[in-house]
Amino acid sequence: MPQTPADPAVREHARHTDGKLSRERMLACALEIIDREGVEKLSMRRLARALDHDPMSLYRYAANKAALLDGVAETVLGQLTVDSADPDWAAQLRAVARDYRRLALEHPNVVPLLVTRPLATPLALRPRGTLRPLEAVLTLLTRAGFDGPGALHIYRALFGFLNGHVLDELQELVDNPEETDDLLRLGLHRLPLGEFPLLRSLATALATYDGAAELERGLDILLTGLTTTPTPRPGKPTNAGHGHRTPRTTTGAGRRKSSGMETENRKGKAPSPH
């Protein structure tokens, strides 16, 4: 009589699946392992054991662990909702930010994948699911009247802030949980008072960190900065945000661009879409 498997991932999938292997089931199981034990504990062999399949069968759906991790990131980002038809683009970006934070808190061990995996993979080679939030946000903003580069600038500003925020919120601050004094609880008493007077004085503020409130405050600053630029009007796109690098469209720019295209064509390369 077969014994009940000890691996929680095995028990979970024994209850909820019919045993047939698919990419979706494989990625769901991989996500469960990462959620429970971290990315470093995931391997093709461990995943195969949890799925009760031969390890070689997994390579039909993921060529290697890197592809598997990309798929897990795609699975999580596939749960991010963006309403591209929302007429209030700023309110929609705020809703997207809240949803992104929710996913990060539900899957904290996946956050490093969301932040770092894109850096290891060229844009066009990333799983399509990881690019859909980008396309949806660009659609939202261009419908609101921003030009393409301006919309991309806003997307980068938003997700740069969000990634920094969730990493900051998930970091471990408490050093001595049993202590009631914030300075001792965070271990800041170890820092020399003469060198770190301000940091030590902020012990209570650090100990009472409210991630949701900090997110809203950061979004207020970010979105206020974006909405104080010229209001986007349908049919008349505008650049978004200060510091946006305007594309070369001034006098002579067309000639420079054409020259660049001719140079690339002479080298036998297609012009870069940037």
Q: Using one digit for the tens of pLDDT, what is the confidence trace for 38-76?
A: 999 999 999 999 999 999 999 999 999 999 999 999 999
Say whether pTM exceeds 0.85.
no
Rounded Cα distance, 45 and 56, in Å: 9
Which has the higher per-residue pLDDT, 17 or 49? 49
Highest mean pLDDT of the ranges 120-129, 160-169, 230-239, 257-266? 160-169
Single out the residue of 93, 36, 41 nearest to residue 218, CA to CA: 93
Rounded Cα distance, 182 and 204, in Å: 6
pLDDT at position 230 is: 53
Rounded Cα distance, 245 and 149, in Å: 8
pLDDT at position 258 is: 40
Least confident residue range of 71-75, 129-133, 263-267: 263-267
With a CB cutoff of 8 Å and minimum separation 6, the contacts of 72 are 27, 30, 31, 34, 110, 113
Which has the higher per-residue pLDDT, 34 or 118? 34
Rounded Cα distance, 95 and 52, in Å: 39
